[in-house]
A and B are shown apart, each in its own frame.
Chain A
Amino acid sequence: KAGVTQTPRYLIKTRGQQVTLSCSPISGHRSVSWYQQTPGQGLQFLFEYFSETQRNKGNFPGRFSGRQFSNSRSEMNVSTLELGDSALYLCASSLGLANRQETQYFGPGTRLLVL
């Protein structure tokens, strides 16, 4: 089985721009979660999508949004980029079965640098 893939792997943007990151989950996985990882804040949960619906949400401003397609692929978008958005963005996929043992499998991440 192919693992979780994320594109692009690296991205450089300037303040005020917007960016879209893509994540393809493991085949058969219906849940995709997004995380932001920075040296200062660690790994912070952004949101989780399941069956094209946002099921869980972390404490990030509305500039961070996402969506999921019918094939479970997910995108996240960050508008009006700020310097502090520079981070490694990780996505993780799982079957999405709540209240049962779940394992999240992570992609390699997209490293975003905002100048």
Chain B
Amino acid sequence: GEDVEQSLFLSVREGDSSVINCTYTDSSSTYLYWYKQEPGAGLQLLTYIFSNMDMKQDQRLTVLLNKKDKHLSLRIADTQTGDSAIYFCAEMLNTGNQFYFGTGTSLTVIP
């Protein structure tokens, strides 16, 4: 399978910005996604970006894509305690409807 890597843990103070990073290996990725998983729940889609874009902003969320370095990041502005969860990046290849997920980053927001 494809390698999609993320750091395992991130801890930030409430009100600060969080930046979650992801690297992927397949340059044929067409779309890249960020999902959020709260304890005991399934994955909730947060946002996605097409591979020909550099940046996408959606309220408190900013996605940056560096296609040359195969690096994707998710910035959460004004992080709240409700943002504490595991965040997964995922890539969809242009070879079919198959998704590859990263290892997940556990974000802890300290009040």
Contact = CB atoms under 8 A, between A and B. Distances in A.
A102 B97 contact: yes
Nearest to B97: A98
A102 B104 contact: no
Given A59-B1, A90-B42, A108-B41, A103 B104 contact: no
Interface residues of B, number: 25
A48 interface: yes
Interface string B6-36: 0000000000000000000000001101010
B103 interface: yes
Interface string A37-65: 00000110100101000011011000000
B31 A102 contact: yes
B47 to A, nearest CB: 10
A88 B30 CA distance: 28
B98 A104 contact: no
25 contacts: A33-B97, A42-B103, A42-B104, A43-B43, A43-B104, A45-B1, A45-B99, A45-B101, A50-B97, A55-B96, A58-B1, A59-B1, A90-B42, A92-B99, A94-B97, A97-B97, A101-B30, A102-B97, A103-B48, A104-B90, A105-B45, A106-B43, A106-B45, A109-B41, A109-B42
